[in-house]
Amino acid sequence: MNTTDYYEIVRQKLILGPLSAPKHPKVIELLKVFWNEDEIKLLSHFPTADKFIPLNELVEKSGISKAEVKKMLNRMHEKRVICKSGSKYGLLPLAPGIFEAYFSARRDSADNLKKAAKLMDYFLKNILSFRFIDHNFSFLRPLLPIEAKQKFIQLDESVEYASQVLPYELVERLINEHNKFAVIPCQCRLVAELNGEPCSLAKAEDGCFIAGIGAQYIADTGMGRLLNKQEAIEYLKKTEKAGLVHNTTYCSGLESSMFICNCCPCHCGVLGPTRQFGLPLTKKSNFEPVIDNDLCVKCETCVKKCPMDAIYHQFPLHPDSSDDKIIVRTEICIGCGLCASNCAKNAIVMKKVRNDIPPKELKLGNKTFTELIIS
């Protein structure tokens, strides 16, 4: 009798740089949703998630006919629980990786999607215990809202690095550099919806925004919907008004000009832990809000919109109410600009206060985030 634990063998291979799959019964339960016993046995012949295996080599190692192996691989790739590059196939880490690809594709049975969503919800709510990503790894960073440069950026000319606003700091870079755009569902909010706990800020359908060649891929695979340039601008404004943060990968190169998550603080698996536990998964932008209390009418819109609870209304103690102010806690502010973009009185500007230069490329092991979700 064969007692080989193929699920445990594969779990140990779901490692890619700062990404891993913790040893826990519920992780194995999730793997059993993704892969049946025949599939997991085939996957046990795969290398770790940083490598691919050619089809012919897999046929040789498994002892299964080429036709049957191709059928199994195609079925798994259709569900986006493995990745593919030409005639080579590979494993994906759980998150980021399978989580985004699987729930974006939504090509598994409704029953399996609900099972997977329930388990992912458990992991997200216990994220300190389940270290799918190294807690010290900076993964995302905010981009300033669509009209930031024209409306509410303030530069301090006495500071050398503030003499310019760099393209990688603004969401409008995606609009300026591309002509094709697409939207895919937010996987975090989709999990919440499948579990009967929908986000109060936005629906899952108002999710991640992709520009350039990635947008065409999303359309071709049926994973999302295409937008023209004007629709893209209006979409970004809509998400800002809803209170969603434009987060891109922590890099300054091509990938950050092609992809953003529109994150809510209540369900996002990256922004949420940054807010709740102070983890550096979401890096601060180079900007902080400055409030003109002469223009401010204390409507508290900024207080309500702030995803980090970094803004509060200080009620007055002085008889003349001179200390009645809106205060920003800059130590926890991530500089997303939602307060400024939603201020009806233009009482908030975003001031460049640092010059953190992201690396040109963000690698999760030997892969980019885009490669993880659209391969």
Q: How far apart are CA 206 and CA 315, in angstroms?
A: 36
Tell me the pLDDT tens digit for each residue of 322-359: 899 999 999 999 999 999 999 999 999 999 988 899 99
Res 219: pLDDT? 87
Out of 11-15, 65-69, 177-181, 369-373, which region has the weakest mean confidence (pLDDT)?
Answer: 369-373
CA distances from 141 to 79, 164, 243, 249, 317 (A): 29, 19, 16, 6, 37
Q: At what angle do helices 110-125 and 187-194 cross, to 10 degrees?
A: 110
Q: What one-character DSSP code corresponds to residue 166?
A: -
Q: Which residues of 323-341 are buried (b: 16+ CB within 10 A; e: fewer)?
A: eebbebeeeebbbbbbbbb
The pLDDT confidence band at residue 154, using thresholds 50, 70 and 90, is low
Q: How many residues does the structure list for the chain?
A: 375
What is the DSSP code string of 209-259? EEETHHHHHHHHTTSSEEE-HHHHHHHHHHHHHHT-EEEEES-SSGGGGTE
**Beta-carbon count within 10 A of 155 CB:** 15
Q: Kindly tell me if the per-residue pLDDT of 367 is higher than 90.
A: no
- Which pairing describes strands 208-211 and 181-184: parallel, antiparallel, or unpaired? antiparallel
For residues 155 and 226, which has the higher predicted lDDT (pLDDT)? Answer: 226
Res 3: pLDDT? 79
pTM of the model: 0.91
Residue carrying structure tokens 């409008």: 172
Res 340: pLDDT? 94
Into which CATH architecture does domain 6-125 fall? Orthogonal Bundle (1.10)
Tell me the pLDDT tens digit for each residue of 89-129: 999 999 999 999 999 999 999 999 999 999 999 998 898 88
What percent of the chain shows pLDDT beyond 90? Answer: 73
Q: Kindly tell me if the per-residue pLDDT of 33 is higher than 60.
A: yes
Every domain of the chain with CATH number 1.10.10.10 lies at 6-125
Q: Kindly tell me if the per-residue pLDDT of 66 is higher than 80.
A: yes
Q: Kindly tell me if the per-residue pLDDT of 55 is higher than 90.
A: yes
Q: How far apart are CA 370 and CA 96, in angstroms?
A: 10
Res 160: pLDDT? 57
Q: How far apart are CA 40 and CA 200, in angstroms?
A: 38
